[in-house]
Structure 1
Amino acid sequence: MVKAFYKKQHMMLIHGDTFDVLSKIKPETVDMIFADPPYFLSNGGISNSGGQVVSVDKGDWDKVSSFEEKHQFNRQWIRLARTVLKPNGTIWISGSLHNIYSVGMALEQEGFKILNNITWQKTNPAPNLSCRYFTHSTETILWARKNDKNARHYYNYELMKEINDGKQMKDVWTGSLTKKAEKWAGKHPTQKPEYLLERIILASTQKGDCILDPFVGSGTTGVAAKRLGRKFIGIDAEKDYLEIAKTRLENEKWNK
């Protein structure tokens, strides 16, 4: 059993260590997982935010001492995630070049089959201040299911085709960074836009399904889940972020 930080209308937020909480969730009870794990970018560098030079350091949760430590972190949480995922469930993991290759390897090592490699192309990326690299304008989202012979994942092909003007949807999705209007409840350094999570949830779940986010942050996954009539569990070790997520969930209507 885990103690809820917040629980209302099929929405649950849990304050705690992701590894500890995942190990206490009943096995094979989750239909879909979306995870935006730490990118491990907090290395003392600088970046651009709203035209201002800012530090890339986000906190101790975003720091790691070696590749081995980073990869072990990814294997551990993905292994636990696999346990709570239903046989036909799927997992989506977002990341930049700094972490996504470790994530991809960890998925295969822990018994997953990668279904798609989604490229999220940002229309308004921050400029590269050093002028020594191409502007980082994309992130990768891996979609995977258990690599079991009898696994049959759900994919709402017809809806995705309809959204894409009657054509098969491709694995390159284009859109803006998170709008300021979606950050009204508080600031989180890596808040994902709501349209991105809405598409992911619509593509791979049905109404009433249970969605888990093990690094919930400011709660975008939960907001989209509630809006679309899905149940939700979010985990985070930072209470300040959970307060933002709680406020956003309270403001969203449950779509039965």
Structure 2
Amino acid sequence: MAENLLYYGDNLDILREHIKDESVDLIYLDPPFKSEQDYNVLFEEQNGTRSKAQIKAFEDSWRWDQESAMAYQEVVEGGGEVSRAMQAFKIMVGQSDMLAYLSMMAPRLLELKRVLKSTGSIYLHCDPTASHYLKLLMDAVFGGNIVNEIIWHYRKWPSGKYAFQRNHDVILFYARSRSQERTFNQLFMERAPSTLKRFGTSKIVSGYDEEGRRLPSRTEEEDSEGVRMDDVWDIGRVPPIKQFFPTQKPEALLERIIKASSNEGDVVLDPFCGCGTTVVVAQRLKRRWIGIDITHLAINLIKYRLQDAFGPEIVKEFEVIGEPVDLSGAKALAEEDPYQFQFWALGMVGARPVEEKKGADKGIDGRIYCHDEKNGKTKQIIIQVKSGNISSAQIRDLRGVLDRVQ
């Protein structure tokens, strides 16, 4: 089995069935925030500009139903602090959509604790929608072993007139245990301009005399590494023109987390892998990695990003688990989820799914763009995915679609 693993499937099932106890050094997760929005994958045109074509990746909405009630009951019956926390949430918010969301998160956090090494750390990315509940839940799971509440500060276009502009996310940094052996590599920031002007890059030494009076600051010849990094991080967001997901996080953010809480050769896990920023950065920093996502759309995107960043040879360094590898697997996927089968099939031939809209494009599931060297024009190959027997009528219909788009 390859050192790096990309799983297709429900992360709860993958964690329970495939990831061993205390086998992971660092976990970063950016789960759905319960924003009640749909999020789309964004595509580029051949010339590098952002396409209007989008396709829905996931719905960030949660409803209290029989499935969430069963998940809640499973956690409560497990006992312990997490059980008590979930019962308290039910008293506070009732059988609500928020309780459904927390019932989804609780068993996953318990599994993430199980797979994390005693020296490991977990970073949970959240926003104000549910961060206050998630912090209480993390306290229950990790025994209050919070290390930092990191503020990721960014700038964006102003919106709204009746509140302060919201320009930050919260990242909850917890340790698996209180062990002093927890992996942590101190990072440093540049000094403030006023400090640089006064002391340059020399090491600053200060202290007190025997009577407790503060001594004037002085410098030593040795250069300072800078100021120890604090818990407010100013890192710009990914510009919309460069996004694959609207929720995509910048590589600089993941680079900081991975450098601080892991070493080369360590295993980094992202159970909500999305567009693959975590695994791309982990690969660049020479960490082993495990990524999990529940859509073939995301799996195909991650494979594309890895090959785009590291070249086609990168496919030898990771294994995709959960995709069909034979005809019976393809049939099983088509029966289980026709849309995921469609995304998988399009990914097999390097095609881009079409946007979800009606009209002239009805009957087109994907496109491949290619360059005609003779006339210098960009041409497209039209793809329609079928999971069963194909009739002559369907071929005639596709021919009609081709005539309309030419």
TM range (shorter): 0.7 to 0.9
- Mapped partners of 1:152, 1:106: distance in 2: 25
Q: Which position in structure 1 is the counterpart of 2:131?
A: 100
Contact 1:87 1:151 survives alignment (8 Å): no
Match of 2:62 in 1: 64
Q: Which has the larger radius of gyration?
A: 2
Higher helix share: 2
How big is the shift at 1:110?
1.0
SS in 1 for 2:188: helix
Aligned to 2:282: 225
- The corresponding residue for 1:121 is 153
Provide the rounded CA distance (Å) in 2 between the counterparts of 1:107 and 1:245: 28
Aligned to 2:305: 248
Q: Which residue of 1 aligns with 2:229?
A: 169
- Per-residue CA shift, 1:148-195, capped at 9, x if unaligned? 4546311111xx126676111110000211135753xxx212110000
**Distance between the aligned counterparts of 1:13 and 1:209, measured in 2?**
16
Match of 1:154 among 183, 187, 206: 183
TM-score in terms of structure 2 length: 0.52
Separation in structure 1 between the aligned mates of residue 104 and residue 190 of structure 2, nearest angstrom: 36
Equivalent residues of 1:58, 1:189 under 8 A apart = no
| 1:235 matches 2:292 | yes
Q: 1:142 to 1:110 in 2, by over 3 A?
A: same
User: Which 5+ residue runs of structure 1 have no aligned equivalent?
Assistant: 1-6, 45-56
In angstroms, what is the RMSD of aligned CA positions? Answer: 2.3
1:27-52 deviations in whole A, cap 9, x for unaligned? 110000000000111258xxxxxxxx
* Pair 103,58 (structure 1): closer, same or farther in 2 beyond 3 Å: farther
SS at match of 2:166: coil
Secondary structure of 1:68's partner?
A: helix
Counterparts of residues 5-24 of structure 1 (less than 5 Å): 10-24=3-17
Q: What is the distance in 1 between the residues matched to 2:241 and 2:302? A: 15
One-letter amino acid of the counterpart of residue 89, structure 1 = G
Aligned length: 227
User: What is the CA deviation profile of residues 81-122 of structure 1, one whole-angstrom value per residue up to 9, with x for unaligned ones?
Assistant: 001111111000111101222221111111241100110000
Range moving further from structure 2, 95-104 or 206-215: 95-104
Closer, same or farther: CA 111–37 of 1 in aligned 2, 3 Å: same
* Gap runs ≥5 in structure 2: 39-55, 64-96, 192-224, 315-406
Give 1:90's aligned residue.
Answer: 121
Amino acid in structure 2 at the alignment position of 1:156: N
- Larger RCO of the pair (alpha carbons < 8 Å, separation 6+): 1
Over 3 Å counting, the alpha-carbon distance change for 1:127 and 1:149 in structure 2 is closer
| Structure 1: distance between partners of 2:132 and 2:107 | 15
* Structure 1 residues 180 and 189, CA gap change in structure 2 (3 angstroms): closer
Instruction: Using the TM superposition, name which of 163-172 and 20-29 deviates more.
Output: 163-172
The corresponding residue for 2:23 is: 29
Counterpart code for 1:167: V
| Residues 12 and 58 (structure 1), Cα distance of their counterparts in 2 relative to 1, 3 Å cut | closer
1:213 aligns with 2:270: yes
Letter aligned with residue 74 of structure 1: M
Secondary structure of the structure 2 residue equivalent to 1:132: coil
Corresponding position of 1:3: none
**Selected match of 1:196 from 235, 253, 256:** 253
